[in-house]
Amino acid sequence: MSAAAFSDPSNSFLQPIAADMDIVNGLIRRQLHSDAVLVSQVAEYIINAGGKRIRPALVLLLAKAYGYQGDHHHALAATIEFIHTSTLLHDDVVDESELRRGQQTANAMFGNAASVLVGDFLYTRAFQMMVSIDSMRIMQVMADATNIIAEGEVMQLMNMRDPDITEERYLQVVYAKTAKLFEAAARLGALLSSASEKDIEAAAAYGRSIGAAFQLIDDVLDYTGHVDEIGKNLGDDLREGKMTLPVIHLMQNGSDIQRQLVRDCILNGNTIHFNSILDAVTECGGLEYAKRMARKFADAAAQSILHLPHSQFRDSLLQLCAFAVDRNH
């Protein structure tokens, strides 16, 4: 994402770190180099596809908000983006996805084997970059985070095609698979700044909550978004057999006929009744329920950083809370 991308009104809160993000993007480009040409091709393909870059932005914003003056935040922001990108490569293979960020997925373009192996490359390159910072505490944070993310992937796999998933089990996956990397990014920003343990935990709480809010809205957009805006096909979660919060709410509050439609869709990957399920999810308040929970997480994130000194970076972090729940992509 170039500085020009930060001129998008929806991303105006990222303007204070636009110059930093340009440095991060340059670092990403350099670190993508490999003697294996396919590595560079696949990695460049998915990196060039864009994305909001919220996770690396959290590293930069929290580091700046806590007064960091060095340059290690650039390497850590790139590291976070590499880990995130590697999970996308692996996710799309597992989910058999064909569209991400408005274009063909890497696995659809280059094949499953290439996507998995390049994902592994990005994981290991991320740890090479972390080692260069020479901080055992940072290594511990990222090792724990990547382990929990992998665990979350397995948990989601176990939950696939199960129409009886509870809200509690769903939220466990949300934390492990999505919110944990947000949490790690925010924690690293504070950790770099030599913040107090209390402030580091507050930053982690911010990341954890904002990550959950983002995931919940993503789940809503799977039913209400526009393909050209969200960059993937509507109903992908249903097709892949994933029970998300709007549908879990429907299973708890809908009619027997509505629940049977969902059950058939989740068990068999049959999306022929997608419009009927969307109507049912809307009618029973499932979409609004998910939005309300997302707002609660976003409010909790904002509360976590109110102690920060007033600055443009604190303002950006607070604006991000609003963006997380009000966005359409």
pLDDT of residue 328: 82
Q: Where are the alpha helices (DSSP H) in 96-235?
A: 106-110, 112-133, 136-159, 167-173, 180-192, 197-224, 227-230
Q: Kindly state the tokens that stand for 105.
A: 């997925």
Flag the least confident range among 107-116, 207-216, 307-316: 107-116
Contact residues for 93 (Cβ-Cβ < 8 A; gap 6+): 107, 112, 115, 116
pLDDT, greater one: 19 or 328:
19
> Both ends of the chain: CA-CA distance in Å?
16
Is residue 234 very low, low, confident or very high in pLDDT (cuts 50, 70, 90)?
low
Contact residues for 92 (Cβ-Cβ < 8 A; gap 6+): 100, 105, 106, 107, 108, 115
Tell me the residue range of the domain where 23 lies. 3-326
* Cβ neighbourhood burial of 171 (10 Å; 0-12, 13-18, 19+): middle
Quote the CA–CA distance of 181 and 84 in Å, as a whole number: 8
CA dihedral 104, 147, 32, 185 (to 10 degrees): 90
pLDDT of residue 1: 35
CB 78 within 8 A of CB 27: yes
pLDDT of residue 9: 39
Task: Tell whether the model's pLDDT for residue 179 goes beyond 50.
Answer: yes
pLDDT of residue 100: 66
Task: Tell whether the model's pLDDT for residue 4 goes beyond 80.
Answer: no
pLDDT of residue 269: 77
Condensed to tens digits (0 to 9), the pLDDT of residues 49-105 reads 767 789 999 999 999 999 999 999 999 999 999 999 999 889 888 877 776 656 788
CB 50 within 8 A of CB 101: yes
Condensed to tens digits (0 to 9), the pLDDT of residues 281-322 reads 999 999 999 999 999 999 999 999 999 999 999 999 999 999
SS3 category, 13? helix
Number of Cβ within a 10 Å radius of residue 38: 15
Flag the least confident range among 65-74, 186-195, 268-277, 293-302: 268-277
pTM over 0.85: yes
Task: Specify the CATH number for the domain of residue 185.
Answer: 1.10.600.10
Task: Tell whether the model's pLDDT for residue 247 goes beyond 60.
Answer: yes
- Mean residue pLDDT across the chain: 90
Q: Which of 204, 278, 194, 203 is nearest to 237 (CA)?
A: 278
Q: Which of 329, 64, 4 is nearest to 195 (CA)?
A: 64
Indicate the number of domains in the chain: 1
CB 245 within 8 A of CB 216: yes
Quote the CA–CA distance of 81 and 280 in Å, as a whole number: 37
Q: Which of 89, 73, 81, 69 is nearest to 31 (CA)?
A: 81
Contact residues for 146 (Cβ-Cβ < 8 A; gap 6+): 83, 123
Mean pLDDT of 147-174: 95
